């Protein structure tokens, strides 16, 4: 796979998932669905461009005769396996730079993990609750969690109704640290994709929405109004504290968004319908990115092609290449010495080389095509290259270099 194609497809797929979230999920309360949707989007944008499925489209001789339904240039290039790479592998150089930058970010990530491990070891233990270890947060750090470790600052410890503790417990119990690790690792290897940094923020924000919603869900309906108000006040107090949170923990920077979502009504059927509109859209995008039509030639067919004064040099030579592909074990054809008059083909020379011959030999020369508006049909039958002209002449070239047979066409009236 070409590296540039992978980058482009990765960007487009992630853009589709990001647009889907922004349009249908960002302002809804389907937080759990959004969590898996966002993670799934990254996985798909990473994996899907690695795989391509081909649909074989068989080309028949009539496709070549009119020269309009086939891209002769690209097809003949594939048939002859012509390499257009420069002597310096620029793509390989770019890929090496990409790996080097990714390695730098990965080493930085490992260093952050090491720092977090040292923090866990050095921090004072407070207690255990539901199998989770509570530790005292270092100075100037707020409350945060990482897997089964929960760090609380002194202010949070002394609260009568410790919403912060409940909040961090839900983070730990729902394994939100896995999402944080995943998005940080993805950012390392997707650093070239500018959407990744916005995508990362959406994932972190959504985890906070999930947790806030879960905290409120455990409160009785009688006290919900007061409890909600107290919880929001505690969120605000947490945000005003000076915090230097580890990069792999959860942040509390989107307090305004969290308060808005806390006061938002639950999702309705219309929002759910909008979400399900994503499914056909995503399926279409997946199909478009991963299914390639591959033109295959009917090797058992007889290949013939037309050309006349309107046929360009490029099209003419591409048709000759395909002719030579069909009959490569028997004969090779050349049309050279082409001259154009007022952009119309006016002159050419036909040469051929049969399988038992070492050199091409000229067999037929034509001039004045533009003036007389002559067209030709080139075929290969019974060991002969045959040119049928619309002015009723038939030219036969066989493996005798000194022989050329010119006769009237069978369709002459």
Asked if pLDDT for residue 216 goes beyond 70, the answer is yes
409 sits in the region (left: phi over 0; alpha: psi -120 to 50; else beta) called: beta
336 in Cβ contact with 311 (< 8 Å): no
Q: Of the ranges 118-132, 178-192, 232-246, which is most confident?
A: 178-192
pLDDT confidence tier of residue 64, bands split at 50, 70 and 90: very low
345 in Cβ contact with 367 (< 8 Å): no
Residue with tokens 């006290």: 223
- The pLDDT of residue 268 is 62
Please report how many Cα atoms fall inside a 13 Å half-sphere around the Cα of residue 7, on the Cβ side: 12
Question: 15: part of which helix (H) or strand (E)?
Answer: helix 3-20
Nearest alpha carbon to residue 119 among 247, 239, 252? 247
Asked if pLDDT for residue 2 goes beyond 90, the answer is no
163 in Cβ contact with 231 (< 8 Å): yes
Residues 279-291: tens digit of each pLDDT: 677 667 666 666 5
> Strand pairing of 144-146 and 344-354?
unpaired
- The pLDDT of residue 399 is 86
Asked if pLDDT for residue 80 goes beyond 60, the answer is no
Nearest alpha carbon to residue 281 among 21, 1, 88, 99? 21
Q: What's the Rg (C-alpha) of the chain?
A: 35
- The pLDDT of residue 413 is 43
Bridge partners (DSSP) listed for residue 254: none
Residues 84-97: tens digit of each pLDDT: 444 446 777 888 88
Asked if pLDDT for residue 326 goes beyond 70, the answer is yes
DSSP 36: H
Residues 236-270: tens digit of each pLDDT: 766 655 455 555 555 545 777 888 888 777 666 66
Residues 4-31: tens digit of each pLDDT: 778 888 888 888 889 888 888 888 888 8
* Average pLDDT over the chain, rounded to an integer: 78
pTM, to two decimals: 0.62
- The pLDDT of residue 408 is 78
- The pLDDT of residue 47 is 85
Asked if pLDDT for residue 110 goes beyond 90, the answer is yes
* CB neighbour list of residue 208: distance below 8 Å, 6 or more residues apart: 250, 252, 254, 258
């Amino acid at each position: 796979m070409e590296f540039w194609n992978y980058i482009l497809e990765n960007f487009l797929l992630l853009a589709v998932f990001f647009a889907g979230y922004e349009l249908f999920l960002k302002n809804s309360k389907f937080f759990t669905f959004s969590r898996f949707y966002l993670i799934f989007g990254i996985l798909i944008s990473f994996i899907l461009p690695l795989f391509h499925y081909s649909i074989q489209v068989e080309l028949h001789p009539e496709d070549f005769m009119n020269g309009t339904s086939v891209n002769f240039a690209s097809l003949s290039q594939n048939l002859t396996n012509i390499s257009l790479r420069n002597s310096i592998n620029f793509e390989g150089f770019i890929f090496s730079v990409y790996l080097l930058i990714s390695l730098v970010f990965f080493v930085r990530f490992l260093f952050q993990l090491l720092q977090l491990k040292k923090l866990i070891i050095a921090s004072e233990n407070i207690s255990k609750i539901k199998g989770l270890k509570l530790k005292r947060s270092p100075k100037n750090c707020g409350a945060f969690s990482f897997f089964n470790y929960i760090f609380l600052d002194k202010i949070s410890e002394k609260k009568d109704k410790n919403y912060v503790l409940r909040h961090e417990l839900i983070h730990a119990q729902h394994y939100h640290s896995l999402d944080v690790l995943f998005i940080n690792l993805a950012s390392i290897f997707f650093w070239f994709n500018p959407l990744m940094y916005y995508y990362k923020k959406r994932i972190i924000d959504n985890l906070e929405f999930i947790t806030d919603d879960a905290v409120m869900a455990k409160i009785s309906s009688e006290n919900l109004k007061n409890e909600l108000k107290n919880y929001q006040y505690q969120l605000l107090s947490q945000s005003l504290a000076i915090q230097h949170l580890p990069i792999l923990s959860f942040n509390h920077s989107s307090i305004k968004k969290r308060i808005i979502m806390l006061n938002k009504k639950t999702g309705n059927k219309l929002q759910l319908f909008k979400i399900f509109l994503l499914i056909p859209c995503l399926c279409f995008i997946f199909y478009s990115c991963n299914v390639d039509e591959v033109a295959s030639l009917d090797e058992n067919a007889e290949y013939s092609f037309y050309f006349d004064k309107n046929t360009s040099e490029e099209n003419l030579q591409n048709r000759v290449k395909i002719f030579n592909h069909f009959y490569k074990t028997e004969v090779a054809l050349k049309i050279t010495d082409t001259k154009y008059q007022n952009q119309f083909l006016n002159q050419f020379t036909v040469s051929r080389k049969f399988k038992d011959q070492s050199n091409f030999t000229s067999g037929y020369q034509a001039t004045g095509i533009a003036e007389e508006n002559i067209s030709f049909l080139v075929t290969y039958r019974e060991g002969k290259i045959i040119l049928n002209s619309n002015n009723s002449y038939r030219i036969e070239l066989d493996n005798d270099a000194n022989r050329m047979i010119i006769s009237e066409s069978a369709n002459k009236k």
